[in-house]
Structures are given as structure tokens and as C-alpha cells.
Amino acid sequence: MKKYTLALVIALLLVSATAVWAASVIPTVITGASNLNKTCAVVMPGTTELKQDDTNGSGPFYPSDGTLSVTITKPSAGTPTNLNSFDWTSNIAVVGVIVKDGVDGANWYDYSPAGSKGDTYLTTPNDGAKGISHISFCYYPSTDYEELTVSKTAKTSYIRTHKWSIDKSVKSEHGYEHEGYPKIWLYIDGSGNEKATWTVDVGYKGFDDSDFKVYGVITIKNTGTLDAVITDVSDVLLGTGISVDCGVGFPYTLGVGGELTCSYAENVSSKISGKNVVDVMTERDTYSAEAAVIWGEPTSQVNATVTIKDVSDLFGVKTLGTFTAPNGGQFTYSKEFAWAGYGQDKCGDYVYKNTASIVETGQSASATLKVNVQCYIYETAFAKGCGAKCFINNGFDNWGWTNPIGPGTYTWPLWAGAGQCDTSKGTLVGTVTVKYVGGYVTVTYNVSAPYLLDETHVYAGYGMFPKTKKGKLTVAPGQYYNDGPFDGRDVYVIAHAVVGIPDPNFGP
């Protein structure tokens, strides 16, 4: 065991105070004509004193006794200028500081029991009213040393490696395939709903015996009181140097109380007995340990039991089960697919790749299923009543109808996508019920499956078309309004909607 000392630098710049500042602890004032009651031995028995005299110069000051080293500086930035105050830092814990004034008083700053390695704005009594005669730093002496405890193991093994195979497939209930992949078409009306089934086959393929090996771990513990700088770890197996993996680079600092674990594994040609010796070198010393290499019967088997894991967007990560040599087997699982499981917001094409793997060997097999979910396409729709007037015939570019009515109840067809007001090009997606009763016009939309009503806009007024705020005629649905109550005269009604229609081009 070796003993070492540490060193630290100290500096002082003293400035005058313009405001009240304070250290981290409140000092106790020591009075009395004698200086004997203002020493570390009296104030805190058992401590060692490091004394700095004459701190009234410009500084800095660096008192040190080889064990304790202190830096004395002017107060930190922002504190008032006060020649009777100072900051300090140290290399080891200080349990107290005595700041003696030039007469008979002193401030005692008590940092016990934990101690401190620095503080700011220490002064003589009365906030530095009198100059500093000297400063005493009180600390408990200690002896630091480096000590490493090294141990190691040497184990032998004869490996038997078991071999496996894995395969995976997926089939849909209807058996439809596209571009070599099973594919499911999910229609809005539910006619394409079906089940898919996945199969995982695991086969046992025998084993290989190999690898006479010596392996083990090297444990290095810092049982001293100094950090140890490890420069190298050298391992000799049966007279031959081998590689050691410590997971770190060298030089490496192992802190007090710390532990470093290294590992080694070396193939050998036969069952040779002998020794395995390790040397751990530091900047100060070398520490050694050894273990005997004694061979027994083969004990290590690799992949005797394997775990089958399945990963997919559909099912997440699942463990299907295990197989133990020499028995393989099969796993199957299924899922029902329905349009309602996706809905209009999640329509589109999906590719689901399920991958099954043998966790221990890394072998894997995948099966891909494609699922197409029918979408709605959204079309503009207008109601067409008796005597309907096409927008296009009245100077507008957009198609649609304005419908004249008198008091009463009407039911009109609702046409979607009837460009140029040609219903032969459109789709009849439902009806609207128009009521002109009591001076008010109300419109009720009647759209049933498989169509989807998304937006509605209604105009009712004496004129054929609504007007913008600037008085310009318009057919833009966002400009529609209902002018009621009406006085019984004929009015015009435009019933507009945005309707979702199942994509007619969907399907194989």
C-alpha cells in the first residue's frame, strides 16, 4: 500500500464592500485579547491548521502544507469591493475557517461535520469593519493510498449447438392473390370481409459439437482511498497471452469503491490443464490473480430450447412459444378483417408484413398480406325538383339546380356528380324533403347506405339565386342563406350537399 498527497492552488484579491453579503454559513464572533483562543486546535480540537498571514496585499495567495492547498481570491463577480473580505477554494474538505482581525476579534466559519471545499465573502467581525490579520483553515488530516483487489475465474466448456429451421406463410379465406401475395378486398358494404390465417413451421435439424474453450471474468475492485489509473490488463492462458475485453479503453480511471469487470473467452486445441494468470497494471503498482484450468465433461449446450417470437404491425410483438430439441412444431393464428375495422378515415391500401423469428439463433421468416380498404369519393350533389333551372343555362359555369316552389311539401331526387346538369352522368344518392309551411322553408336530406352525407348547404329566397354582400348573383354553396319568413309567394330553393360514394373502381 502506498501513501500519496494532493496539491491545490490558492489566490486572493480583496475589495471594499458597498452592500451586505454573506458566506454560506453564519460566522460566530470570537473575542478576547489573547490569540490562543483563535486557533484551530482550540476552536475545533483534533484539526490541523493551515495559516495565511498578511492578506492585505493585492494577492493572490496560495497557502499549502502538502496536504491541504487553498486558493484565496477577491470576492466573486457582483460582490462589493471590500479589502477585508475574500473567497476561497480547497483541494480537500475544510471543517472551519478563522478570520482574525487586526485587534482582538475573529470570525469563526463552521462547516462541520461534512466540511466544505470553498465559500465566498468571508470577513472579519462586523462585516469586515477591521482589517484581516491572518486566516486559519482547519481540517482533519488523512492518509490516502491505492489498493486494488483482483480476482478471476477460469471455466471450461464443450459446446453442443442445436440447429433449427423456420418458415412462415399466410392465406386468406377466399384465397385471392395479387402479384404473388394473398390479398383481401374490404368493401364498404361488408361483402369483402374475410379471415386470414398465418402458419409458422419450426423444424429441428440436428446439432454440431465444437469448441473446447476456456472462459471467465476478471473482477477489479478499488478498495483503496485513491482513484486508480489502470494502464493495462494482461491475461496469460496456459503460457500464451490472450485478449481481454473490459468494455473500456486504457488508461482508465477506476474511482474509489468502483468495480471493473473484464471477460475473456479463448478456444484451445484440446483439454490442456494449467493456469490462467492476470496482471492489472496501474500508474503506481501491479496487482495479480490466477485460477487453475481444470477440464470436466462438456456442459454447454446452445439453442437446446428456442423461443419463437412474432413481430407485426397487426399484432405487435408476441411470443408464440418454445420448442426443445429434438422436437419442432407449428403455430397458427388468425384475424378477421372487416371494412368497419378501418372505416372511412382509414381507407386505402395496407401491406402487413409479419416476421417470425427464432430469438436465440436470429433466423427469421416473413409472410406478407395485402389488404385494400374501399374509400369514399366525394362528389357535389344537388336536388332537382319540378321546374328546376340549371345554373349553366343562367350564366354560371358550375352545374346545379335552383327550384321554384309555392307553399307545400316536396320530395326531390338528390343527384351527385351530374355534370352539366346531365343526370345520366350522375348518381342518385337519395332524396331531399322540402317543406314551405307557415312562411318558412326547411330542407331534410335523406341519404342512406352505402352513401355518406358529408356537407349540406341550403338557399331559400325570392330570387332564383343568392347574392353576395356586394349584390352579385352567386351559386357558391358557401354563400347560401335562408331568407324566411316568407309571405306565401313562390320562392326558389337550392339544396346542395357533398356526398361520399363508394369508389366504383375498387376491387380486383
- Is the pLDDT at 77 greater than 60, yes or no? no
Q: Where does residue 120 fall: left (phi above 0), alpha (psi -120 to 50 degrees), or beta otherwise?
A: beta
Q: Say yes or no to pLDDT of 12 above 50.
A: no
pLDDT at 147 exceeding the cut of 50: yes
- pLDDT digit string, tens, across residues 401-452: 999 999 999 999 999 999 999 999 999 999 999 999 999 999 999 998 899 9
Does 232 reside within a domain? Answer: no
CA distance 139 to 68: 8
Dig out the grid coordinates for 295 from the structure.
477440464
Identify whether residues 458 and 493 lie together within a single domain.
yes
Residue 274 is assigned to a structural domain of this protein: no
Sheet of 132-139: strands edge to edge? Answer: 28-30, 106-110, 96-101, 132-139, 48-53
Four-residue CA torsion sign, 265, 270, 273, 275: negative
Q: Which of 66-70, 176-180, 212-216, 397-401 has the highest mean pLDDT?
A: 397-401
- 150 belongs to a structural domain: no
Longest dimension (CA), the chain: 121
Do 23 and 110 lie in a common domain? yes
Q: Are residues 451 and 326 in the same domain?
A: no
Q: Based on the domain organization, do 26 and 74 belong to the same domain? A: yes
Query: Do residues 394 and 357 share a domain?
Result: no
Residues 18 and 107 in one domain: yes
C-alpha dist (Å) from residue 378 to 81, 185, 384: 78, 20, 19
Among 320, 344, 373, give the residue marking a domain's end.
373
76: confidence class by pLDDT, cuts 50, 70, 90? low
Is the pLDDT at 193 greater than 50? The verdict is yes
**Which element (helix H / strand E) includes 43?**
helix 40-43
Assessment of whether the complete model's pTM goes beyond 0.75: no
Residue 13: which pLDDT band, with cuts at 50, 70 and 90?
Answer: very low
Q: Which of 373, 401, 427 corresponds to the end of one domain?
A: 373
Domain range for 339 is 303-373
In a domain, 271, yes or no: no
Residue pair 123/158 in contact by the 8 Å Cβ criterion: no
* Positive/negative CA dihedral, 338, 341, 346, 350: negative
In a domain, 214, yes or no: no
Q: Are residues 9 and 138 in the same domain?
A: yes
- Whether residue 134 sits in one domain with residue 43: yes
Cell of 127: 462585516
Domain membership of residue 369 (yes or no) is yes
* Number of domains making up the chain: 3
Does 363 lie in the same domain as 467?
no
Round to the nearest angstrom and report the end-to-end CA distance of the chain.
84
**Model confidence at 301: pLDDT above 90:** no
Choose the weakest-confidence range: 19-33, 265-279, 298-312. Answer: 19-33
The domain boundary, picked from 357, 373, 389, lies at 373
**Would you tell me how many other CB atoms lie within 10 Å of the CB of residue 200?**
22
Is residue 414 one of the residues assigned to a domain? yes
Instruction: Look at residue 333 and tell me whether its pLDDT is greater than 60.
Output: yes
Q: Which of 118, 76, 99, 132 is nearest to 27 (CA)?
A: 99
Residues 135 and 14 in one domain: yes
Residue 393 maps to a domain: yes
Same domain, 394 and 497: yes
Q: 389 and 369 in one domain?
A: no
Q: What is the pLDDT of residue 115?
A: 84
- Residue 139 has a pLDDT of 92
